[in-house]
Amino acid sequence: MAASPRSTSKQKASAADPVRPWPAGALARVPGFRTAALHCGLKRKPGNPDLALLVCDRPAAAAGVFTKNLYCAAPVTYCKAALAKSHGRARAVVVNAGNANACTGTQGERDAARMGSLAAKGLRCKPHEVLVCSTGVIGHVLPMQKVESGLAALAKQIARNEPGADFARAIMTTDLVPKTAAVEVDLGFATVKIAGATKGSGMIAPNMATTLGFIATDAKITPAVLQQALSGVIDETFNCLTVDGDTSTNDTVLALASGEASHAPLAKASGASYRAFRAGLFAVCDDLARQIAADGEGAEHTITVYVGGTRTDAEARQIAATIANSPLVKTAIAGKDPNWGRIMAAAGRAGVPFDPEAGALTVCGFDLFKDGKPTAFDAAAVSKALAARDVGIAVLVGDGPGRARYYTCDFTHGYITINADYHT
């Protein structure tokens, strides 16, 4: 699957695995979809793309997951209403970066609706068939004159099948690299394609990351089944991701299915074909989530936290999230400091009951803590291992079946610099 240069989450498919990498994959390479992007003036740097369209040639099955922040942005409210009105169908998604259109009152609501209406006019579809997403600074009203001019130009690009700028780059804010992933999935009687693009670098702690994600597939699938698959997969991927513990006002992941693949519709969330499709969707979203952690603001380490031995997966996830969100753990990793006490202290305060004497910890392959007490280890050797870009932390708290995996990154001075200067 395609990944950013800073991601090492590529996985090789086994001979029996229905999911295989699709290196040439991109949203616009999925049958039935086109993209276009340009600079309309929302971002400060001239020529830096900030407005994009993802268009399906016919009404697509659509599903979405959204932030649970009470201050949800106007585009989030708009998307929920549009999906309800269309009964899970969409022709397009319009996205702007550089302005979140969040906490902007009724004017923000009107602007989100205006974006959908203008895109629909250019594409000759109904306004509720267009989904709207925004990302950027909170509390600023959109400069709609710039957006309107940009949407008119995007409609012409789509009509001429001219993509212009890169979609994945157009949705970026503080990201250093665009983030894409794609797979092909063997359903046994047909092959379907799934591609995704996302953005996110800071204000990341999805609860449905500032993240936006877009998935396109040519699978034939009903909106209800697509929604069930997306919600479950997001819970295991984007919702197991944190950079700084801050849930955004705009978090949105949308999935659209053109239905152009040659197979019977997936109308039930069961059976071999559905499981294969869901595995492909998971592979794309998992890759994208890890890329966000790898591109965390100021990050020098990508951290994967594994937890096992709890009574349930939910308990393991609670411990993993507490470790992943700990500033003390994240700064220790930044300093290449094998301070295992910070990790076990975080596990102990997660609110999950377990026997402390059963606790064990491995960092970068070194056993640092076992049976509730420290082991003898070479601190210099562990510190050297922590110099690697990718760091693995594994915590065992018992012999229960529960397990979880969480993605995060370290905290460096770069994070402070980026966020201190971001608004001004």
Task: Give the tens place of pLDDT for each residue, 312-335.
Answer: 999 999 999 999 999 999 999 999
pLDDT band of residue 12 (cuts 50, 70, 90) is: very low
* H or E element, residue 230: helix 223-236
89/168 same-domain check: yes
Number of domains in the chain: 2
Domain end among 261, 294, 327: 294
pTM over 0.75: yes
Residue at 260 is within a domain = yes
Amino acid in position 374: P
Domain containing residue 55: CATH number: 3.60.70.12
Residue at 8 is within a domain = no
85/111 same-domain check: yes
51/161 same-domain check: yes
Q: Would you mind telling me the total number of residues written for the chain in this entry?
A: 424
As a whole number of angstroms, the distance between CA 87 and CA 69 comes to 24
CB 214 within 8 A of CB 54: yes
The predicted model gives 34-60 an average pLDDT of 95
Domain end among 294, 329, 350: 294
Residue at 289 is within a domain = yes
Evaluate if residue 3 carries a pLDDT over 90: no
pLDDT of residue 202: 59
Q: How far is CA 177 from CA 287, 360, 378, in A?
A: 14, 36, 36
Q: How far is CA 31 from CA 35, 194, 256, 406, in A?
A: 12, 10, 12, 33
The range of the structural domain enclosing residue 96 comes to 19-294
Name which of 139, 145, 165, 136 is nearest 44 in CA terms: 136
250/387 same-domain check: no
As a whole number of angstroms, the distance between CA 248 and CA 5 comes to 25
290/340 same-domain check: no
CB 400 within 8 A of CB 353: no
pLDDT band of residue 7 (cuts 50, 70, 90) is: very low
Residue at 336 is within a domain = yes
Catalytic residues, which ones? 210
Residue at 6 is within a domain = no
As a whole number of angstroms, the distance between CA 69 and CA 71 comes to 5
As a whole number of angstroms, the distance between CA 372 and CA 374 comes to 7
Question: Sign of torsion, CA 99 103 107 109?
Answer: positive
314/222 same-domain check: no
As a whole number of angstroms, the distance between CA 229 and CA 144 comes to 35
The predicted model gives 55-79 an average pLDDT of 96
33/138 same-domain check: yes
The encoded tokens of residue 120 equal 């629909």
Residue at 10 is within a domain = no
263/412 same-domain check: no
| pLDDT > 70 in the chain, percent | 93
